[in-house]
Each structure stands twice: as C-alpha cells, then as structure tokens.
Structure 1
Amino acid sequence: MAKAAVRAGLVAVGLAWVLVTQVVLAADAKTYVLEGSKAAALESCVEPTDVMRRKHMELIKHQRDATVHGGIRSSKHSLAGCVECHIRTDADQVPTPIHQKDEFCGACHAFAAVNLNCFDCHASVPKGPGAELASHAAFQAAGVDRSIQARPDGEDH
C-alpha cells in the first residue's frame, strides 16, 4: 500500500513537471519571423506553424525530389519560396542573406544546433537588385572564397 502511494506521488510529480516544462517552453517560444520580411505581414506560412517547425526539411526534400526526379516545379514548398518570403532587406534595400546567424534560417538553426548547409549551393537571397553583392559578402564573412565568375552562358554564379 505504501509503495502504491509513493508510486502515485512520483507519477503526479512527473506529470506536474511535464506540464510546467511545456508551459515554460510555450512562453519562451520564439518566433523567428523577422520584421521587414514578407512573412511578418502574413498570418501563417504555406503550412501551419507547428507543421513548418517540425517538418520543413521533409517538405523541402519532397519538393526537391518532385523537381529533380519528376520535373515538377511548384513553389509551395520550394527553398527559393522560403527565401523570397522570409528574407529582409537593409536600409539600402539590399537583401540580408537568410542563413546568417541573426536571420530567419540561421537563427533557428543556431538555436537548434543544426548545421545549415543548404546555402552552400542554394542562393541565400532572392534574385534581383543587390542579390549578388549580398550573397558574395555573406560568403566572405563566413571565410568562404566564392569569387564571382562568369559562366559560359554569360550569367554570373
């Protein structure tokens, strides 16, 4: 009988601890949507926030497979679409690379201690004015030599 009472007490304490932890985590939950981005003006992303937080990589991988293997190019879950919506620009309207530690992708991945290597290959800013300069500057700041070179088709990369 005493063992059952102790066990019930421990279970109650454990459940209370879980409840308190969840309340504290919910109160401390950060939004990584930054002011000055298109996303800041929207009520939700292409999927509900809890889905995006947990499954964004699965969505991006699925989109990659559909595009690369199936030739299907939609933008609902594309990495370029994420960058376009979550990027912010500085006072001179130059886009701030999304993977820097204080930006949307970079801040969340730094918090979660996850290596963010998407932008080793993919653009960290949308195409347009200032994109090339911002991307080049971000790589220089990271110590990566990504000199701008002309491709045979005349495009820079």
Structure 2
Amino acid sequence: MKDKRMTRQQHWPVASAIAVVFALFSWVAVAGVPLPDIPLAVKGDQCVEDTDFMRRNHMDVMLHQRDETVHEGIRTKRHSLKGCFTCHIVKGADNQPVTIKDPKHFCRVCHDYAAVNVDCFQCHTSIPDAKKSGGKL
C-alpha cells in the first residue's frame, strides 16, 4: 500500500501557489480604491463646521435642521441646504450650476462613490436660486 502523504518535493509547488495568492491579495489591499474627486467650495473661507465633521455627520446635521424648521418653525441659515449650495456649487461647460442629474454635482460625487441614494432632491432643488443670489451663480 502506498503512502498518500506528500513528500517535501510536492510541498514546494503548493506552498509557492499559496504564497503567490497571499501576495496578490496583499497587493490589492495596499493599492486601495481611488478616492472621489470632491469639488472644493467656490465661496467662503470656511465651512460652517469642520470639514471632517461635515463629511461624517452632514446627514445628522441636515436632519436636525429639518426637524427644527419643519416641526418647530425655527429657520436658521447656518445648516440650511441653500447655504450648502451657496458655497458648493459646481458649474458645467455652459457655466451654469449642474443639477443632481449630473455626476459632477457636489452631492453626487461622494454619494455615487459610496453607493448611497440622495433623496433630498425629490422635494428640494439641487441648484441655487439665481433670483435670490442676485443672478450671480
């Protein structure tokens, strides 16, 4: 009866194959995924909150603003959606603000990257109001 255990010579190809697979997975992990190209704010010197805070918490801030406005009647400009668009406007080739339908829209850049649905614009406009901004966009 033959011994079915692998010899040392048979271990090397298997060990080498395993090492190659681990090396490939390590390379993919180190290479990472390219980050989205987030458009810079075009107006203002500073955001209403720290950039890192807003990246992580903007949804909570907007929901809090919504609750204060809709449920309590308190309207402030600090965290309003209109305020976001005043600074974070992205213009297209025609020099007009792009809407949420355009992948370059400020909100879509990160939300598309993270595969998160943006449903704000089912009710709200996704561009600043030209009349209220003095026609300057």
Q: Aligned match of 1:62 in 50, 61, 64? A: 64
Aligned to 2:87: 85
2:132 matches 1:126: no
The letter of the residue matching 2:72 is G
Uncovered stretches (5+) of structure 1, i.e. residues with no partner: 1-16, 130-157
The letter of the residue matching 2:56 is R
**Separation (CA, whole Å) in 2 of partners of 1:89 and 1:116:** 19
Q: Which moved more, 1:114-123 or 1:75-84?
A: 75-84
Q: Deviations over 1:81-138 (max 9, x none)?
A: 1122211234544221146322210011001110111111100111126xxxxxxxxx
CA RMSD of aligned residues (A): 2.7
Aligned to 1:32: 38
Greater RCO, 1 or 2 (C-alpha within 8 Å, sep 6+): 2
**Separation (CA, whole Å) in 2 of partners of 1:49 and 1:72:** 25
**Separation (CA, whole Å) in 1 of partners of 2:78 and 2:56:** 17
Alignment of 1:1-150 (within 5 A): 29-30=35-36, 32-34=38-40, 39-90=41-92, 92-98=94-100, 100-128=102-130
TM-score by length of 2: 0.63
Q: What fraction of aligned residue pairs are identical, expressed as a percent? A: 48
Q: Is the 8 A contact 1:33 1:86 kept in 2?
A: yes
Partner SS, residue 57 of structure 1 = helix
**Separation (CA, whole Å) in 2 of partners of 1:71 and 1:24:** 49
The higher radius of gyration belongs to 2
Q: Is the 8 A contact 2:99 2:126 kept in 1?
A: yes
| Corresponding pairs, count | 104
The letter of the residue matching 2:88 is H
Q: Is the 8 A contact 2:36 2:113 kept in 1?
A: no
Using the TM superposition, give the Cα deviation of residue 32 of structure 1 relative to its aligned residue in structure 2, in angstroms. Answer: 1.1
The letter of the residue matching 2:96 is V
